[in-house]
Amino acid sequence: KFLHNLMEKKDFEAWLDNISITFLSLTDLQKNETLDHLISLSGAVQLRHLSNNLEILLKRDFLKLLPLELSFYLLKWLDPHTLLTCCLVSKQWNKVISACTEVWQTACKNLGWQIDDSVQDPLHWKKVYLKAILRMKQLKDHEAFETSSLIGHSARVYALYYRDGLLCTGSDDLSAKLWDVSTGQCIYGIQTHTCATVKFDEQKLVTGSFDNTVACWEWSSGAKTQHFRGHTGAVFSVDYNDELDVLVSGSADFTVKVWALSTGTCLNTLTGHTEWVTKVVLQKCKVKSLMHSPGDYILLSADKYEIKIWPIGREINCKCLKTLSVSEDRSISLQPRLHFDGKYIVCSSALGLYQWDFASYDIVR
């Protein structure tokens, strides 16, 4: 029996060699036809065997086989959405892709996230990215915030200023109100003029008005402690600094005025804007450049098309240090809106959001 099987095996091998030589001499089309015919003759055992072997021959798990550095280099060419899909392939793929810090940090930066390089956990940035994507979706679908109404004014509310859980509102009903946002309760109400802008601290409220004046009010008594007259157009923005005893105001008369906060005296009128000045910001500088040093007080004033930067403290010969352009759009709009923290200027305009580095005046993004 053994000899018989051996002979069979010899015959089989000879037959297989013969078939192989013939198969190799065929054209590609004939080879395909031969394979199709053999597959049609195969049973379940043969088909399973074929399937298992084809997977090994055709598929290579390159993330398993490559050194980690090469894997990371390859992954850098893929967009985050594709990478998230790749994470679903296997646990091994998910582990490697999630640990590619550079990819996820870049993805977070592209979404505008601030990057803290001191975080050592390699899986941290993928989590941050997923959280960011969720927040963006919530914003888009209007699900990111809970809304509640503060009811009390009897006419249009034009002016808002928020600080430390308190919101001040100024209205055409000739009043300003201070609200506790968490409870919705009105803490103070003051009879004022029409408010186009408001700013407050613990003791006082400063209002800019459509009647072309600025006024300072005391919360506790509701009394007007100072009146600033001189603009010939509505006052759209105010800012002040108690330490400097300075108040600044931007107006529809295209000017910025600098006032002594305690006396109401106009120290200077800054000209050069060609549109309504809709925002003024008074802030201490935190960076050094050719034009200013850390600790200098800086005034920013914005109209629809540009931001002007002025030194404060040199009132007599106050020259504009720099003009930044924000828009070419000629449609009617009260934008831009402006924010300055001493290091960066951020401004919204009809064209989008701009960020400048204050040391170099370069656009960061």
* Rounded CA separation 70/66 (Å): 6
pLDDT of amino acid 314:
57
pTM for the structure as a whole: 0.68
Which residues, given as ranges, of the chain have pLDDT below 70?
1-7, 314-317, 329-336
Range(s) within the chain of domains with CATH label 2.130.10.10: 157-357
pLDDT of amino acid 1:
63
Angle made by CA atoms 32, 38, 41, in degrees to the nearest 5:
145
**Does domain 157-357 bear CATH number 3.30.1360.70?**
no
* Rounded CA separation 224/216 (Å): 6
pLDDT in tens, 200-257: 999 999 999 999 999 999 999 999 999 999 999 999 999 999 999 999 999 999 999 9
- Concatenating the DSSP letter of every residue in 222-280 gives --EEEEE---SS-EEEEEEETTTTEEEEEETTS-EEEEETTT--EEEEE---SS---EE
Range(s) within the chain of domains with CATH label 1.20.1280: 66-141
Which CATH fold topology does 66-141 show?
Answer: Monooxygenase (1.20.1280)
Angle made by CA atoms 326, 328, 334, in degrees to the nearest 5:
70
Q: Do the Cβ atoms of 174 and 193 come closer than 8 Å?
A: yes
If phi > 0 it is left, if psi is from -120 to 50 it is alpha, else beta; for residue 90 that is beta
pLDDT of amino acid 64:
82
Q: Please state whether beta strands 157-163 and 166-171 pair in parallel, antiparallel, or not at all (unpaired).
A: antiparallel
